[in-house]
Each structure stands twice: as structure tokens, then as C-alpha cells.
A and B are shown apart, each in its own frame.
Chain A
Amino acid sequence: SQQGEEDPQALSIQEGENATMNCSYKTSINNLQWYRQNSGRGLVHLILIRSNEREKHSGRLRVTLDTSKKSSSLLITASRAADTASYFCATDADSGAGSYQLTFGKGTKLSVIP
């Protein structure tokens, strides 16, 4: 079953604009990660935010986490055509047994038009 749900399912923007994707999840977590997937390829880790963090930055990426709402957002600033990909959030359940199983959402398909 999929724990996370990304919103929107698809997003099309012009190069240079900012892109915001949202993720909602269902259970308590230790951390939340965002991954990118280019068509037909494997996933690439972008950023991880822990449950006790509220915001994190990495280059043009900004991630927020609201554990009270069980939601996260990923902001990509000054988008480039190379950012065109699907973006997935992934969570690990706070089971107390160590986190090794990630549960992914269905993803947001981002298209950046040059």
C-alpha cells in the first residue's frame, strides 16, 4: 500500500519558475525523503528531513515538514529543463524497530518547458 500521496499528480511550468509539490502521509514517521526519477530510470535521493525538523535546504531545493498535518512540501526554485522528472516522497514508519522499509507515494510528474 502507498503511504504517501503527492499533489499535484502532474505539474507543467516554464523554465525559471518555481515548482511546489506536496506530500501527505498517514502514520507517524522517523523521517521523510524526496527522490527524483527520470523516465525509465532508477530513483535518485534528493533530500531527507527528520521528524524533529521543520525545514531543510539543499541548493535549489527547500523541503518543509508539518508532522501535525502529516504533510511535506518540496520547492524547486528557478527550475531548469533538466528538472523534468517524477518526484516521489518516501516515508519510514516509526515502528521502533529501525527504519529499513520506505513507503513511496505515487509521485508528481514535473515538466519544465524551456
Chain B
Amino acid sequence: DTGVSQNPRHKITKRGQNVTFRCDPISEHNRLYWYRQTLGQGPEFLTYFQNEAQLEKSRLLSDRFSAERPKGSFSTLEIQRTEQGDSAMYLCASSYHNDEKLFFGSGTQLSVL
């Protein structure tokens, strides 16, 4: 059973550096989501793709953040010029079209020093 896969699991970086995370969704799922979760909080929506089209972006997604999903398969989330406030767990999820149930990956824990 190949669930949602995220790499890397952990990333430590220095402030000002760029980082990129990858998400491989469940292969039949055409919807892909990125969420961010800080300690003691629930996940917060960042962005959503249907196939390769990015259909929604949260106000949380500043211009330092960019997400892509080329060919509607895997997705990458890049953060440029990282700040300490970017430290969080970045979660990817996928779902079938018209299915409200999300399947989450294990997340990428980002620490910005």
C-alpha cells in the first residue's frame, strides 16, 4: 500500500536559506493539498491542486512560498529566504475527486535556526 510520501522527514536550515519539500500523493488521487502545522495547533490550509492546476492559495502563503505540481503527479513546496517563523510541520494530503476524505503524509518537520 503506497500512501502519501513526503521527503525529507526533517529539514534543519539557517535563516535566509531556501528549502524545497516533495510530496508524492496516492497515485489515483487527482487532488493534492499542502497544510502547515505548528506545535499545539491544528493544520492550516496553504494551497490546493486539482491535477496540475493550483486552484486555491491561502493568505498564509506569502510570496516567499511557491508550490508546483508538474504533470499532476508529485508536488513540491519551496520556501525562499526562510525565517524562524517558518518553522513548522508541513503536511501534504491527497484525495480522490469529489471525495472529502483526505489522506495525509507523515509531514516534513522544518526547523529554521
- Contact call B101/A43, Cβ cutoff below 8 A: no
- Contact call A106/B41, Cβ cutoff below 8 A: yes
- Contact call A102/B45, Cβ cutoff below 8 A: yes
Q: Does A31 contact B (CB under 8 A)?
A: yes
Total residue contacts A-B, CB cutoff 8 A: 62
Contacts of A96 in B (CB 8 A): none
The CA of A45 and the CA of B109, in the complex, are separated in Å by: 21
B104 contact from A2, A30, A43, A106, Cβ within 8 A? A43
B-contact bits for A20-50, CB 8 A (1 contact / 0 none): 0000000000110101000011111100100
Contacts of A99 in B (CB 8 A): 100
Residues of A within 8 A of B (CB): 2, 4, 30-31, 33, 35, 40-45, 48, 88, 90, 92, 99-107
Q: At the interface, is chain A mostly helix, strand, loop or mixed?
A: strand
Residues of B within 8 A of A (CB): 4, 31, 33, 35, 40-45, 48, 50, 55-56, 58, 91, 93, 100-107, 109
- Contact call A42/B100, Cβ cutoff below 8 A: no
Q: Which 5 A-B pairs have the closest CB atoms?
A: A104-B42, A42-B104, A43-B104, A42-B106, A45-B101
Output the residue of A40, A90, A101, A106 with the most chain B CB within 10 A.
Answer: A101
Contacts of B43 in A (CB 8 A): 43, 88, 102, 104
- Contact call A33/B41, Cβ cutoff below 8 A: no
